Structure 1
C-alpha cells in the first residue's frame, strides 16, 4: 500500500481517465533517487484497468545506444507496424533493427513513426506508456516519446514518465509537458510508514535527516540498532542518506564471495538485460555462474528470471559500480567484449570502455559503428561514438576529423550542448582546415536557428575561409539567409559574388545556387527588375533537374525564387508537390523555414486561411526542433491572423512569444514587422490609443515604411483611422495630406486606393466622399489586396450609415462582410455584420467566438478540400488519424455543415489544386 502519495496517485488516475475518454495525456513525475517514483509507476500499472501497458526503463550502460528504450517500449506493438505510413514505417523499422534497410528520413521521421504506431495500437485498446529513469534513457528514445506525447492529442494513450529533477544548462525535451514533483513524505506519512518499527519520538529527526525519502528511511531503519530504534540510544551522527545512501546499498556486497561480486559487476556493466554475456564471461574466468548469481539473488541484490539479470533498484547497480575500482570496471568491459564475439556492435562498445591509451583500430571500429547508428538515425549515439573515437586516435588530425563529424551528428540530433562542446575541442586544437570548417559551419547554423542570429555571420564567414567544395557553398548559402534575416544587403551581395566566383557552371546545383543568390542580392538591394532574370533561371533549374525537383534541401530556395522574380503566383505550380515530398521524407528540419515562407506569401496574396494554417504549423514544428528565429516570424504572422479572427487572447500570446523569441535570436532591434503586427492587433481589438502610439513611433523611426522599405508613410491608412476614432481629426487630416502628397500619382493601384480611401473618410461633404470612395473601389479592383479592399468597403459603409443612407450603406457593408467571410477573417466579418445590424438589416448568422477554427483545424479543413483521407492528412501533418477525425468533427460543428464534401466546398478556393 502506498503511504502519503494520495495526490500523486490522483494525478495518475486523472491521466488515465483522460486517456479513457480519448484525450491523450502525459504526466512526468520528478523526484530524487529513492523518493518512490518507480513505486508510483507500479501503482499506475495497477490502476490501468483495461489498458495495455508498455514499459521501458533507462540504465546508464545504454545511454549511448540509440533507440534502446524505444525498442523496449515498442517491441510488443511490432505486429501493428504495417499500419504505420510507409516512410515512417521504414524509418522506425530501421531504427529499431526490425529491417536491414537504413532510414530514408531525418530523426523526426522515427519520432513520427513512434507516434503513428502508438496511435494505431490505441485504436484497438487504450495504451499506458511507462518509462522509468528517463535521465538514463538515450536521447533518441526521449525525443521520440516526447514527440509522440505532444502529437497524440485525441487518442487513448496515457504516458507516465519518471526522472530526476532537471538542473544546469541544456534543453529540456519535456519542458512543455505536465510535470509533477514527487517530494519526500511528511511527518504524518513517515509515522505511518514506520509504525511499529521505530519509536514515534524518532520520526521528526528521521524526517529531517532523510527529507522524507522513503528509500533512505528504509535504509536508515535497517542500519539502526534495536536500542536506536526504540530511542533508548541516540541516533548515529552519520545516517546512510544522500551519497551515503548509495554506500548503504553497498554494505550487503561486502558479505558476498569474490565470484558473486564479479557476477554483479558484469551485470552492472552489461547493456543487455539478458544473462547470456554475463554467464559466458564468468565461465571464461572459471567462475560458476549459477552459484555466483544464486548467492547474489539470495541476498536480494539481483533478481534472475527468464534468462535475465536485473537489479531491484537502480541504486543497487550504482552501488556495485561505486564499490569497484576503475581497473576492475575496465577488466569487466574487456570480459564482456570477449563474450560478445558474435555481436560486433556491442563488442566494440565494451572494448572502447576497456581501452587505455590510443588504439587506432578500435577508433576506426567506433567510427564504423557511428556510421551504422547514423544510418539508423541514432544521431545522438553517433555523436558520442565519434567523440569516443577521437579520444582513441593517436593522430591529432584524425581525432579532430572524428570530432568534427560528431559536431555534425550532434547538430542534426538537436543537442546544442554537445555541438558547442565538441566544436570547442576541434577549434581549440590544431585541427585540419576541413575539420575546422565543419565545426564552424555547424556552430553558425546552430546560432542562426536556435541561438543568436548576430553571432552566426562571423562563424559562417570563418567556415567559408576554411572550407572547400560543397561545404563552402553550404556555408555561403547559410550566410546569405542570415544576412537577409539581419537586414544586411551588403552581406547578401558579397555572398552572391563569392558564390558566382566559386560555383562550377557545369554543375547544375552550383549553377542554380549562383543564379539564386544573385537574384536574392539584387532584390534585397532594391533592384527588382534586374533580379527577375537570374531568379527565373534558378527556378527553371530547380524544377527541371530531376534531383533538385524533389530534394527537400532546396525547398526554401524554390519558394523564395518566385518572390525575387516578382511573380509569387509561380509558386502555385509546385509548392504543394514540394511540401508533400518534404513531409513524406520526414524532412521536418526544412519545414519551419519553408512553411513560414508559405505563410508570408499567402498573407501577401490575402490567402488568410493558408497563412493561418502554415504559421501555426511552423510554431508547432519549430518549437519541437528548438528553432528560434523562424518561430519568431511565424508567431508574428499567427498574431496577425488570430487578431483578424477576433481571437484577441491568442493574438496577444503569439505577439508576446514573437517578442521573446526575437530577443533570444538577437533580431529584435530590426523587428519592424513586430511593431506593425502590434498596431494591427490593437486595431482589431479596438485599442486605438495603442495603434496611434506604435505607428507614430514607426514614423519617427523610419518614415512609417513597410518592412520592405519602399512605401513611405505606409502606416498612414491605419493611423488616420485611429486618429478619427480618438477624435484627433486635425492630426488625421494632416497625415492624410502628407500621404497624398507622396503617393497621389503612384502607379500602384493599392496605394492609390489608400489615398482615395483617406480622402473619402475625411471629405467634408457627402458628394466628395462618394467620389473618393468610388475611385478607391476602382483602384482596388486593379490591385492585389482583397483585405484592404474589404476594409475600404467597411469604412465607406460605416460613413454612409452615419449619414443616414441605410440602403447605400447596406450594399457596401454586405460586400465587406462577404469578402471578410471568404477570407476566413471572423473578427472583421463580425465587425461588418455589426454595422449591417445598425442599418436595420438582419445579418446572416456568422461564426461566433466558440465557432472559430484553430490553426490546426484550418490545416485539416484545407487538406480535406484537397481530397485527402483522414489517414493521408494524419501522415502529412504528423498527427494521428483519431486527432484528425476529432478536428474534422470540430470543423463540421463550427461551420454548421454535415459532410466532408461541404467542408471541401467551403475551403476549395484556398486549398490549391487537387493532388494527382
Structure 2
C-alpha cells in the first residue's frame, strides 16, 4: 500500500508490529481531523500485519450509549478462547456482553483483566493486532476497558491501534501521534490523481488552500462539481468548515439517487451494527427493492457484503443528519420491528425511542428495563442514557421527575457531573414532594462532595447534606442518619477550609437524630461516636467509636458500607490511635474497592494503604501502591493531589523533589477545597524537614498543620513533629504546650501507639532519669504495635540524647539500631541523620548493604512475594491486574535477578523485610 507523505507514520506502525513480533506489546492513538488519513494508516497496519491475528471495529455515534458494544464487537473473533479464562473473568465478559444472566454487576477492573487475558490467549500462537477506528465514539465502558488493557500490556505480543478525531479522555497518557495534513508537493500529486482534466492554476491553488493537505478533501472536493464548474472557480462552498464541505460532497452524490436508494442509505446510517441481513429486513418493511444496493455501490457511498461499510464515517453522519425527521423515525421504527426482542432488547428499545415523536409509556418502560440491564452489566453511562430518554418520553410529571432523578444519579456515578447537574435541575422543576425534594437534596450534596468543591458558594456539600438529613428525618430516619454520616465525611474532607457548617455543627445536629432500630447498625454506632467526639463528650465517644470500628471490620459487613463510609471510619480509628484497626480497615477498603471496581474511591483507599505502609516502615510497599494509584487516576482521567506520592517522597526523598511535590499538592488541595489535604501536606513537610535536621522549617510546617483545632487525625500526628522540632531548637515552652495537647488527645484511646508517641514527646522535654525512662517506655510501647517507623525514629532521638549525655556506648547502640532500621526501610533522610550522629560519636559507619529486594522493581517485588506465598500466575495477575503471560515473564526476570532457578527458592532469596511483608 502506497501512502503519500506518510513515511514517518508508516515507520512508527512498522515499529509497533516489530515489537509484537519480538514478544512485546505496544499501543498508539492516532489523532487528526476527519479525512486526514487515519483510516488509511490503520488499513496499512492491517495489510502489513503478516502472521498476526487481526480484530478491528469502527465505533459509531449512535452506538456510543450502549455499554460494551464496541468491546464486544472487537472481542467477537476471540470468543472461542473464552473458556481458557479463569471462571470469574469468563463470567464477567459473558455478563457485560449480555450472553449470561448477571448475578451482580461485574467491576470494571475485572472486565478489564478478563479482556487483557482474552487478548493474551488470542496472541498465544500469533501476535494480535486490535484496531479501533473513530474511537471518539466508543461507548464509555468500552473506552475505559480498552484504555486499561493498553496500559497493562507488557509481554502479550499485542498491538492496540486507535484513531480518533479528537483526544479521548479515557486515553489520556497513552502514546499518541497527531496525523497532520500533507505538504504542498504531496497534496498536488494526490490532487492530480482525481483531476485529470486541464485546470486553471488559480483554481488548483484554491482547492489546495481549501483542503489544507487533507487527503480526503483532495480526493472528494474536486468531484463535488463538474469539471466545467470547477474550472470556473465554483463548487467549493467556502462558508462551510472542511468536514461540512466533505459531507456536502457526499450528499451531492446521494441526491442523484432514487428515493429507495436514499432510504437504504438512511437505514444503514441509523443502525451501525453493520448487519446486512438486518438492514435488508428493515428495507423490506419500507418497500425498498434490492436494486437500490446497486445504486449506492455505483455512487461509491456504501459497500454491502456480509457487513455494511460506508465510504467514510462522514457519509454516515451526513446522510443521517440531512434526512427529514419523519424519515429518520421511519428508519428507526423499521429497525426496531426487525430486531429480536429476546436476543437484543436494548437495541430494539433504543430504536423505538428514536422513532417516538411523542410521550409513549410502553417505550419509556422498555428503556427503564434496559437501564436496569445496563447497570447490572456495569454500564452506568448507558443506564443514564436510557433513563434520560425514558424521562423525555414520560407524560406523567411525577414519574418523569423520578426518572430524571434516577438518570442524574446514574450520570453522577458514571462521572458525567455536568450532565448529572443539568438533569437534576430538570427534576427539581417538576411538581414538588417531600420525599423527592429530600432525595434531590441528597444527590446534590453527594455531587458537590464528589466534585471536590464542597466549600464553594451555594453548592456547599456539607450544608446540602445537613439540610437533606433534616428533611429526611420525618419519613426515613435510617436514611437521615446515613446522610448525617455523609455530612461528617464532607466536613472532614473540607476541614479548615469550611465556609459553611463544620464538624461541630454536624455533630450537634446529628446528636438529635434518633436511632430507628436495635441493635444499632455499624453506621449508627459510627455516627453517634463521631457526634459525641466532636461535641466534646469524651467519656462516651471512645466506647462507641471502638464498637463502630469493630463492626466495620466484620467480614460479613456489606461491601457497599465499606465503600461509602470507609473514610469516616478510618478517621475514627485514627482518633483512637488504633493502628491495628487502621491497618485492617484500610486493607478491607482497598480490597473491596478493587473487587467492586469502585474507581472513584480506589485511589483514596490506596492512599490510606500507602500511609499504613509508611507507618509500619514498609516504604517499598508504599512506593508500589503509588504506581497503582497513579494508574487508577489515569483510567479515571482525573487530577488529584499527590497524597501517597508526597508521603513516600517525604520519608524517602530526595528532599528537593519532595518539597516541590508537597508544595504543588498543597496548592491543588486548596483549589479543590480539601482542607484535610492541606493539613496532610503540612504534616509531611514537618516529617521531611525533621528527617533532614532542618528544625526551623519543620516547626513552621508542624504549627501550620496543628493550627486548626477542629481537625484531628493528621493534625494530631503533626504534634510529635512539632515537639521534636521545638525541642531541638530549645523552645521548651512551645514543645511542652504541644505535649499537653497531645496527651489530652491520646489519653482516652489508651493505645500503645498513642501512649508510645506521648512518652517519646515527653522524653524530648524531660531531663535525667525521667527522660531515660520515658525514651525506654516509648521504644517498648511502639514495639508492641505497627509503628515501626516511629520506633526507629525514637531510637534515633534517644541515641542523640544519650550522646549529649556523654553515654557514648549506649548512644552508639541506639544510633546503630536506628541507622540500620531506617536504612533498611528506605527512610533516607532520617537514616542520614542517624549516620551523621554515629560519625560524631566516633563510630566508623559502613554503607548498609542494599537489600536484595532493591534489585527488583516495586512491581516485581509485589509479584515475587505472591509467588513466594504459592499463588499461581493467574491468581497473581488477578490481584495486580496483569495477564498471566506477563506475570510469567516477570517471574523469569525475578528468578534471574535473584540468581535462583525456580519459585521454590524465593523464600530464601527474598530478604527478611520482604518475608515479613
Q: TM-score, normalised by structure 2?
A: 0.84
Q: Which residue of 1 aligns with 2:750?
A: none
- Counterpart residue number, 2:319: 320
Of 641, 655, 662 in structure 2, the residue corresponding to residue 655 of structure 1 is 662
Q: State how far apart, in whole Å, the 2-side matches of 1:893 and 1:685 are.
A: 37
CA distance in 2, matches of 1:698, 1:247: 63
1:516 equivalent to 2:559? Answer no
1:906 aligns with 2:912: yes
Secondary structure of residue in 2 paired with 1:159: strand
Shift of 1:484: 1.9
C-alpha offsets along residues 251-301 of structure 1, whole Å, 9 cap, x if unaligned?
A: 11122112111111111112431122321232233332x211122112211
- Kindly state the Cα deviation for residue 111 of structure 1 after the two structures are TM-superposed: 3.1
Per-residue CA deviations over 1:504-545 (Å, capped at 9, x if unaligned) read 314x6x632211211233345565553232233334545668
Q: In the alignment, is residue 300 of structure 1 matched against residue 300 of structure 2?
A: yes
In structure 2, the partner of 1:208 is 209
Supply the distance in 2 between the matched residues of 1:680 and 1:756 (Cα, whole angstroms): 19
* Distance in 2 between residues matched to 1:10 and 1:619, nearest whole Å: 31
Does the 8 Å CA contact 1:865/1:908 hold for their aligned counterparts?
A: no
How big is the shift at 1:432?
4.0
Give CA deviations for 1:463-483 in whole Å, capped at 9, x if unaligned.
Answer: 435545465444333222112
1:410 aligns with 2:422: no
Which residue of 480, 490, 510 maps to 2:504? 490
The answer on whether the counterparts of 1:806 and 1:839 sit within 8 Å (CA) in structure 2 is: no
Deviates more, 1:850-859 or 1:361-370: 850-859
C-alpha contact (below 8 Å) 2:610/2:625 kept by paired residues: yes
1:877 paired to 2:880: yes
Distance 1:816 1:9 in 2: 57
Structure-to-structure mapping, 1:232-631, within 5 angstroms: 234=233, 238=237, 241-288=242-289, 290-306=290-306, 308-340=307-339, 342=341, 343-454=344-455, 455-467=460-472, 469=476, 471-487=479-495, 488-494=502-508, 496-497=510-511, 500-501=513-514, 503-506=515-518, 511-524=521-534, 527-528=537-538, 530-542=540-552, 546=556, 548=558, 552-553=562-563, 556=566, 559=570, 562-563=573-574, 565-570=576-581, 580=591, 583-609=594-620, 611-614=622-625, 616-625=627-636, 631=640
Which residue does 1:182 correspond to in 2? 179
Residue equivalent to 1:638: 645
3-state SS of the aligned residue for 2:65? coil
**Conserved in 2, the CA contact under 8 Å of 1:756 and 1:773?**
yes
Q: Deviations over 1:643-677 (max 9, x none)?
A: 42345576457535633541342125871221221
Secondary structure (helix, strand or coil) at the match of 1:4 reads: coil
SS where residue 189 of structure 1 aligns?
A: helix
For residues 910 and 404 of structure 1, the distance between their equivalents in structure 2, rounded to whole angstroms, comes to 50
SS of residue matched to 1:486: helix
Residues in 2 aligned to 1:816 and 1:305: alpha-carbon distance in whole angstroms: 75
Change in 2 beyond 3 A, CA 1:750/1:686: closer
2:752 maps to which residue?
Answer: none
In structure 1, C-alpha distance between the alignment counterparts of 2:537 and 2:99, rounded to whole Å:
55
**Alpha-carbon distance in 2 for matches of 1:675, 1:144:** 37
Partner of 1:765: none
Which range moves more in the overlay, 554-563 or 119-128?
554-563
Partner residue of 1:194?
A: 191
In the other structure, the counterpart of 2:26 is 25
Structure-2 change in CA distance of 1:573 and 1:418 (3 Å)? closer
In the alignment, what sits opposite 2:499?
none
CA displacement, residues 705-732 of structure 1 (integer Å, 9 cap, x when unaligned) = 98344975742424665xxxxxxxxxx2
Question: 137-146 vs 234-243, which deviates more?
Answer: 234-243
SS of 1:366 mapped into structure 2: helix
- What CA distance in whole angstroms lies between the structure 2 residues aligned with 1:147 and 1:693? 42
Q: Distance in 1 between matches of 2:860 and 2:692?
A: 23
Q: CA deviation at 1:398?
A: 0.8
Contact 1:680 1:691 in 2 (8 A): yes
* 1:812-850 deviation digits (Å, cap 9, x = unpaired): 4431232124534356446656776884343442269x9
TM-score normalised by the chain length of structure 1:
0.84
CA deviations on 1:174-208 (whole Å, 9 max, x unpaired) are 22222322222221321332346467776653332
| Contact map agreement 1:59 1:136 (CA 8 A) in 2 | yes
Structure 1: gaps spanning 5 or more residues: 722-731, 761-767, 912-916
Deviation at 1:339, TM superposition (A): 2.5
Name the residue aligned to 2:846.
842
Query: Who is 1:763 aligned against?
Result: none
Change (3 A) 1:518 1:699: closer
1:209 Cα deviation from its structure 2 partner: 1.4
Contact 2:182 2:214 in 1 (8 A): yes
Retained in 1: the 8 A contact 2:128–2:158?
Answer: yes
C-alpha distance in 1, partners of 2:757/2:871? 36
The alignment of Structure 1 onto Structure 2 pairs a total of residues equal to: 875
Once residues 217 and 372 of structure 1 are traced to their aligned partners in structure 2, the CA distance between those partners, rounded to angstroms, is 46
The alpha-carbon deviation at position 546 of structure 1 amounts to 4.0
In the other structure, the counterpart of 2:100 is 99
Q: 1:641 to 1:392 in 2, by over 3 A?
A: same
Q: Which runs of structure 2 are paired with 1:46-65 in the superposition (5 Å)? A: 46-65=47-66
Gap change, CA 1:515 and 1:103, over 3 Å in 2: closer
Q: Secondary structure at the match of 2:170?
A: coil
Q: How far did residue 878 of structure 1 move?
A: 2.4
Are the aligned partners of 1:704 and 1:714 in contact in 2 as well (CA < 8 Å)? no
Cα 1:799–1:522 change in 2 (3 A) is closer
Residues 27-68 of structure 1: CA deviation (Å, up to 9, x unaligned): 222211111111111122234344322212111221222211
CA distance in 2, matches of 1:27, 1:326: 39
Mapped to 1, the partners of 2:470 and 2:687 lie a distance apart of 44
- The gaps in structure 2 that reach 5 residues or longer are 496-501, 748-754
Q: Is the 8 A contact 1:614 1:859 kept in 2?
A: no
More moved, 151-160 vs 798-807: 798-807
For 2:335 and 2:376, the matched residues in 1 are separated by: 26
CA 1:741–1:909 in 2, change beyond 3 Å: closer, same or farther?
A: farther
- 1:715 aligned counterpart, secondary structure: helix
**1:841–1:896: structure 2 CA closer, same or farther, 3 Å change rule?**
farther
Q: How does 1:111-126 map to 2 (within 5 A)?
A: 111-126=112-127
Asked if structure 2 preserves the Cα contact closer than 8 Å seen for 1:497 and 1:518, the reply is yes
| Separation in structure 2 between the aligned mates of residue 719 and residue 12 of structure 1, nearest angstrom | 61
Show CA shifts across 1:710-755 (max 9, x none). Answer: 975742424665xxxxxxxxxx22x245425764996844344345
Of residues 213-222 and 454-463 in structure 1, the stretch that sits farther from structure 2 once superposed is 454-463
Shift of 1:427: 1.8
> 1:460, 1:478 within 8 Å by CA — same for their partners in 2?
yes
* Aligned equivalent of 1:764: none
Q: Give the C-alpha shift of residue 147 in structure 1.
A: 1.9
